[in-house]
Structure 1
Amino acid sequence: MFIGRQDELRELRTALAESGVCVLTGPPGIGKSALATASAPPGTWTVSLAGSSADPDELAATLAAGLRARMGNPPVDDVVQAFAERVARESEPTLLIIDDIPAITEEIVDRLVVRAAGRRLRTVLITSRVPGVPAPVLELGPMTDADAAELLGSDDPDLLAVLGGHPMALRLAGLALRKLGPADLTDRLADVPAPLTVLLRDRFDGLGEAASRVLRYSSLSSPAALPSGVLRLLLGRPGAEEAVDELQRELLATPVDSALQVHAVVRDTARQYLPPVDWTALARRLADAVIDHPWSDPAESFLVNRHADRLAGRPDLPLAIVDRLHRRVITLREPVLTAPHHRELAERHFDDPAVLVEAAELMRVVGALDEARDYADRAVPLATDPALRHRARLLLAELLDELGDTGRAEHLWTLLRAEDGTELPFLRSRRLRGQHDEARRGLAEFIDRYEIRHSMFDRVQTARLELARTEIEDGAQMAARRRAARVIAAAESPDHASVTEAVRILIDARLTPPLADPRDDRPVWAEIEADLADLRERWTGTHGPRHSTTLALTVAHGESLTALGRLGNTLQRVREDVLDRFGPEHPARFRAEMVLGFAAARAHRTSDAAEHFAGAFHGFRAVLGDTHANTLRAELALGVALKLTGRRGGARHMLHVVRHAPGSVGIGTDLFLQSAFGSGLSVFPSWLWRRLTPQPRE
């Protein structure tokens, strides 16, 4: 039962309602987790980052791993996005509690708050250290005298003064009062510097052997909760149940789902004051249990891997055990967490090509391309198995291409072309070299050859997406858009990996927003508009109107309607959701702002149009630079809107477009001057509308 802290509870709920995020801070044992849990509605998500360093990448990866475990280990690459989609489908706000954060900085807040979920997700960040963050901070201090007396079960003023309003000390003192009177307990605690430590030591003195062993196991490994499966392997089922009951009864640990969380201050005190033992032997037994733990429960496996990660760094364990611990951790799907363990295995097994190839593939995912190349380079001459040698060569060729060493890569491609399974990677290498004609021709032939074979469905979809990327780079944005939309339509499952990549292509900032009179391309745009409308309705029905794919399709559909001169209310209907779900650097947000701007201009709401164009301009400029065609297009629209509303800056923006790339926007200096200084112009007249963006083309 939660007692007291009603003012703090109201303050926390207010901060979450207004800002969507609140940082809870205070010393260990002050009640941060209890307060957050008390504010939690049904369906709250809780993830502990206990055992993580303060590195933002590691914290974000641990959060992703924790969410994956809580979601039942879904087979998706981006589990945070999958979590955001689940939150978006909820009718009421969802609370995410992220506990045991070692420290909070502005960057860590940005990495841990799931912006893609929008305003429906509210987040509590719990830590003991807050250097300064751009979020509401609620610092918990001592409890009031009235709340402290209720929690203690006594209103003795001398005892309350000694305990200082610390919730954990108050609870432990309440247990002690069952044997001692208030005056005796006050005398025992009065002259000690840390009453909480004395109260904990008193609880330790009466613990059974099984409970004491659990405290020792907790103190030598990760601060993460101890899974019940590990405890059963260590103590047997009766011993584990007895220890859990006793530690909970003595207020030294809290059951969390199927695990036992020993409080941090308890763990630290136990390591210092429990009788000494052979810690190496104890670590060996815990490591064996961690390695032998079954894989059936994702939440338990996540915690087991946290302990394996910590134990793998112990220098007093046998190398064979450490090796198995590293292999246990690399089963995680979060590359940032597994990268150090792949490195360790690659160094330990420097002559094992399979280990080197796995390490190279992982390092490529995390962006350590030089390291990945070195591992792949070492694996190629060591691989004797033909399949593994092919895998190593192909990986090395792709890495060399990505690093710009095309001369050396070309030699490998010559060897690989004669082997099966390299046609698509080879054609991708042609695209990376700018040989677009060869890439387009080869990809089209591949699709024609295999599209009728169901067994080749995934590879054909991959080829279509690669062809769309080639078309983007070759300036055929319209064909790429249409191809990406058809990949989405053909997907056997809405969660297929090809769908995610197709949506990325569809909303890529390089795909020019075709806000122009389609002229001779009108039948093509009519076909695209119909396809996008069908897709949007399909996704609305299966995944809801706030799913990111639905919203991306809505933006693309709005652009196609604009190209046909039929803006309608496609984007206006979901304006709040589009701007809520898509973060400030998401390309679809900029494009949505552009279409909303034109919709406002058509409705003669020029001030609103200027705001939308400003959002698009600043977004495109931050991502694409000052002179990208999309940036200039948005800047021109902003300049005209500002001029027509009589606000400052319009002529300056238009002059910037004239100076830097007037041809790319398709408008001459005379038209700039006319738009800037002409009188009697209607809002966005037809000649200006046609020239704000280039004509669509295949």
Structure 2
Amino acid sequence: MFIGRQDELRELRTALTESGVCVLTGPAGIGKSALAAACAPPGTWTVSLAGSSADPDEMAATLAAALRARMGNPLVTDVVQDFAERVAREPEPTVLIVDDIPALTEESVERLIVRAAGRRLRTVLITTRVPGIPAPVLELGPMAGAEAAELLGDDDPDLLALLGGHPLALRLAGLALRKHGPADLADRLADVPSPLTVLLRDRFDGLGEPASRVLRFSALSSPAALPPGVLRLLLGRAVAEAVDELHRELLATPVDGALQVHSVVRDAARQHLPPVDWTALARRLADAVIDHPWSDPAESFLVNRHADRLAGRPDLPLAIVDRLHRRVITLREPVLTAPHHRELAEHHFDDPAVLVGAAELMREAGALDEARDHADRAVPLATDPELRGRARLLLAEVLDELGDTGRAEHLWTLLRTGPPSPDVEVRFLRSRRLRGRYDEARTGLAAFIDEHEIRYSMLDLVQSAQLELARTEIEDGAQPDARRRAARVIAAHAGPDRQDHPAVTDAIRVLVDARLTPPLTDPREDRPVWEDTERELRRLRDHWAGTHGPRHSVTLALTVALGEALTALGRPGDTLSRVRDDVRDRFGPEHPARFRAEMVLGFAAARGHRNTDAADHFEGAFHGFRAALGDTHPNTLRAELALGVALKLTGRRGGARHMLHVVRHAPGSVGIGTDLFLQSAFGSGLSVFPSWLWRRLTPQPRD
């Protein structure tokens, strides 16, 4: 039962409601986790970063791995985005508690808050150190007199003064009062530097051997909770007795079947339990970690946290350490597994399978030089043709990404010699795009799709080729073709078992890419294209809203694209206005869909003669495009031109300056037909502009 802290509970709830995030801080054992749990409604997500370093990348990766495990190990590329979609589907706000954070900085706060979930996710960050961060902070101190007495179960003033309002010390002292009177206990604690340490030692002295062994196992491994499967392997039938005793003695807490030993207890156990052979104990724990079954994702995540810590012990045999490294690399987070791949590659420098695995991971983690070195070593060592081909393919792609196209070209020639491989062909054509050989890439990808699209077994590879062709079309200036192609990929995954396929995420990224923003020009030349696009986007939007909900990021991205298509047809309407709050909530200020939506909302507001609102929307679009694409990108200039017109019509300063900037920097494509849209939006008010400016802003008919 949670006792006291009513003022703190109110402060925490207020911070979560107003800001969506609150940092709980204070010394170990002060009750941070208990307070967060008392505030949390049913359905709260709690993850622990115990064992992580203070590096923001590692903390973010640990959070992602913990969420993946809690969600049942879904086969998705971006598990944090998948978590955000689950939050968006909930009818009520969701709370995420991130516990055991080693330290917080401004960067790590941003990495641990799931912005994609919007304000429907309230986040509690729990740590002992906060040097100064841009988030509400609630620092827990000692408990007040009446609350401390209630937790202790006694109001003896001398004893309460000695315990200093520390919740764990108060609860332990309450147990001690079952054997000692208040005055005797106060005398015993009077002249010691740490009453909490004395109280813990008293609990240690009365523990049975199985419970003592659990504390030792916890003290030599990761601070993460001990999984039940590992405890069963270590203790056999005595596990239930040990867990019950540690819980009863307030030394550990069962959490979702695992056993979490408090950090204060772990530190005290190292110092005050009778000495043992720690190496032998570490060997037993390592054997249990390696032998643990893989059935439960949440339990396996904890097992891997312990394997990660044990793999760094210098007193374990190399064979055991090797198996621990192999256990950890089953995680899907490159930041967490990269050190273990490096160790395996160093110890097994002549094993091509290990080297290829390390190269693939390093490429995913962005360490391209390391990926190249590992793959380079693997190619001559691989005797198996399949493994050699895999190493060559990986090396060719990494060399392309590093700009070493000469070596890569030789490898592509080798790879394409012999029996044809559809996978190699798609990746080869991707290399053509990366080199700017768009005609070759487009021709090859189109031929590949025509040849294989009727074969169901090739569905995933064909959709991958479709997306690669869409990217080629973007870079080659054929944005409408790319937009329709990305929409077709999304439609191809409309079945109930394929809607969360990674290809859908890739297709949405193509669809919302800022370069895909349609040039808002005279639609008469392309009107049939945009009418077809509008119908297809509306169908897809309605389908996704029905299957995944109206707040799903795919639904909202399709709504933004639909709004653009309607704007290109001269009727922006209120398609986006109805979901404006959801778009702003789900897509942060730096997301391309956010400022593309602002552009469409600006045209809709201008069409309704709400010029002040239009100016605000165009200003948001302009600043977003400028930050993402630069001052002179066509999309930035289109938004700036619309902003300048809106500012001029509302009598606000800066309109002329913005328009003159467009005049000086705009290519001809920016002005084509822009007058049609601006005049249809702003009406006769455009007559306030000198004719010479409109002649500069819009192209004149050619003879």
Paired AA for residue 258 in structure 1:
G
User: Which whole-Å deviations, capped at 9, do the CAs of 1:106-151 have from their partners, x for residues lacking one?
Assistant: 0001000000001100000000000111000000000110100110
Equivalent residue number for residue 547 of structure 1: 552
Equivalent residue number for residue 198 of structure 1: 198
Paired AA for residue 659 in structure 2:
M
In 2, are the aligned partners of 1:516 and 1:691 still within 8 Å (CA)? Answer: no
In 1, are the aligned partners of 2:520 and 2:568 still within 8 Å (CA)? Answer: yes
In 2, are the aligned partners of 1:662 and 1:668 still within 8 Å (CA)? Answer: no
CA shift for structure 1 position 520? 2.4
Within the candidate set 643, 647, 654, 1:649 is matched to 654
Equivalent residue number for residue 354 of structure 2: 355
Distance 1:430 1:378 in 2: 25
Equivalent residue number for residue 19 of structure 1: 19
Equivalent residue number for residue 114 of structure 1: 114
User: Which whole-Å deviations, capped at 9, do the CAs of 1:236-280 have from their partners, x for residues lacking one?
Assistant: 0x2111110000000000000110000000000110111111000
In 2, are the aligned partners of 1:353 and 1:382 still within 8 Å (CA)? Answer: yes
Equivalent residue number for residue 81 of structure 1: 81
Distance 1:609 1:686 in 2: 23
Change (3 A) 1:89 1:15: same
CA shift for structure 1 position 662? 4.6
Alignment partner of 1:496 is 2:506 = no
Paired AA for residue 207 in structure 2:
L
Distance 1:55 1:533 in 2: 44
User: Which whole-Å deviations, capped at 9, do the CAs of 1:29-88 have from their partners, x for residues lacking one?
Assistant: 000000000000000000000000000010000000100111111111111011000000
Instruction: Give the 3-state SS of the residue equivalent to 1:510 in structure 2.
Output: helix
Q: Which moved more, 1:634-643 or 1:499-508?
A: 634-643
Matches within 5 A, 1:114-133: 114-133=114-133
CA shift for structure 1 position 512? 2.7
In 1, are the aligned partners of 2:521 and 2:674 still within 8 Å (CA)? Answer: no
Paired AA for residue 325 in structure 1:
L
Within the candidate set 412, 420, 434, 2:436 is matched to 434
Equivalent residue number for residue 345 of structure 1: 344
Change (3 A) 1:685 1:98: farther
Structure 2, unaligned stretches of length 5 or more? none
Equivalent residue number for residue 251 of structure 2: 252
Instruction: Give the 3-state SS of the residue equivalent to 2:51 in structure 1.
Output: coil
Q: Which moved more, 1:404-413 or 1:35-44?
A: 404-413
CA shift for structure 1 position 636? 1.4
Paired AA for residue 432 in structure 1:
L
Alignment partner of 1:150 is 2:155 = no
Within the candidate set 536, 539, 564, 1:531 is matched to 536
Alignment partner of 1:665 is 2:667 = no
Change (3 A) 1:91 1:688: farther
Paired AA for residue 240 in structure 2:
E
The count of aligned residue pairs is: 690
Instruction: Give the 3-state SS of the residue equivalent to 1:47 in structure 2.
Output: strand
Equivalent residue number for residue 31 of structure 1: 31
Distance 1:77 1:221 in 2: 30
User: Which whole-Å deviations, capped at 9, do the CAs of 1:378-425 have from their partners, x for residues lacking one?
Assistant: 111111100001000111010010111111111111111124322111
CA shift for structure 1 position 191? 1.3
In 2, are the aligned partners of 1:330 and 1:342 still within 8 Å (CA)? Answer: yes
User: Which whole-Å deviations, capped at 9, do the CAs of 1:177-229 have from their partners, x for residues lacking one?
Assistant: 00111101111111111110111011111011011110000000000000011
In 2, are the aligned partners of 1:516 and 1:692 still within 8 Å (CA)? Answer: no
Distance 2:336 2:31 in 1: 29
Matches within 5 A, 1:142-541: 142-236=142-236, 238-419=237-418, 420-421=420-421, 422-491=424-493, 492=495, 493-541=498-546
In 2, are the aligned partners of 1:515 and 1:563 still within 8 Å (CA)? Answer: yes
In 2, are the aligned partners of 1:517 and 1:690 still within 8 Å (CA)? Answer: no
Distance 2:66 2:684 in 1: 61
Instruction: Give the 3-state SS of the residue equivalent to 1:207 in structure 2.
Output: coil
Paired AA for residue 446 in structure 1:
F
Distance 1:247 1:496 in 2: 44
Instruction: Give the 3-state SS of the residue equivalent to 2:57 in structure 1.
Output: helix
Distance 1:130 1:453 in 2: 57
In 1, are the aligned partners of 2:508 and 2:557 still within 8 Å (CA)? Answer: yes
CA shift for structure 1 position 170? 0.3
Alignment partner of 1:634 is 2:639 = yes
User: Which whole-Å deviations, capped at 9, do the CAs of 1:141-184 have from their partners, x for residues lacking one?
Assistant: 00110100110001111111111110000000000000111101
For the aligned residues, what is the CA RMSD? 2.3
Paired AA for residue 409 in structure 1:
A
CA shift for structure 1 position 461? 0.7
Distance 1:683 1:158 in 2: 83
In 2, are the aligned partners of 1:427 and 1:442 still within 8 Å (CA)? Answer: yes
Distance 1:691 1:60 in 2: 50
Equivalent residue number for residue 561 of structure 1: 566
Paired AA for residue 118 in structure 2:
G
Distance 1:385 1:572 in 2: 59
Change (3 A) 1:253 1:694: farther
CA shift for structure 1 position 6? 0.2
Distance 2:91 2:231 in 1: 39
Distance 2:543 2:344 in 1: 46
Distance 1:452 1:206 in 2: 72
Instruction: Give the 3-state SS of the residue equivalent to 2:515 in structure 1.
Output: coil
Distance 2:260 2:673 in 1: 69
User: Which whole-Å deviations, capped at 9, do the CAs of 1:595-619 have from their partners, x for residues lacking one?
Assistant: 0111111111111111111111111
In 2, are the aligned partners of 1:323 and 1:345 still within 8 Å (CA)? Answer: yes
Distance 2:616 2:696 in 1: 20
Change (3 A) 1:152 1:64: same
Distance 1:175 1:328 in 2: 41
CA shift for structure 1 position 516? 2.8
CA shift for structure 1 position 689? 11
CA shift for structure 1 position 513? 3.1
User: Which whole-Å deviations, capped at 9, do the CAs of 1:559-602 have from their partners, x for residues lacking one?
Assistant: 00111112121100100000110012111111011101111111
Distance 1:684 1:142 in 2: 68
Distance 1:324 1:598 in 2: 61
CA shift for structure 1 position 514? 3.4
Distance 2:26 2:331 in 1: 32
Instruction: Give the 3-state SS of the residue equivalent to 1:519 in structure 2.
Output: coil
CA shift for structure 1 position 686? 14
Paired AA for residue 253 in structure 1:
A
Paired AA for residue 393 in structure 2:
L
In 2, are the aligned partners of 1:465 and 1:487 still within 8 Å (CA)? Answer: yes
In 2, are the aligned partners of 1:485 and 1:506 still within 8 Å (CA)? Answer: yes
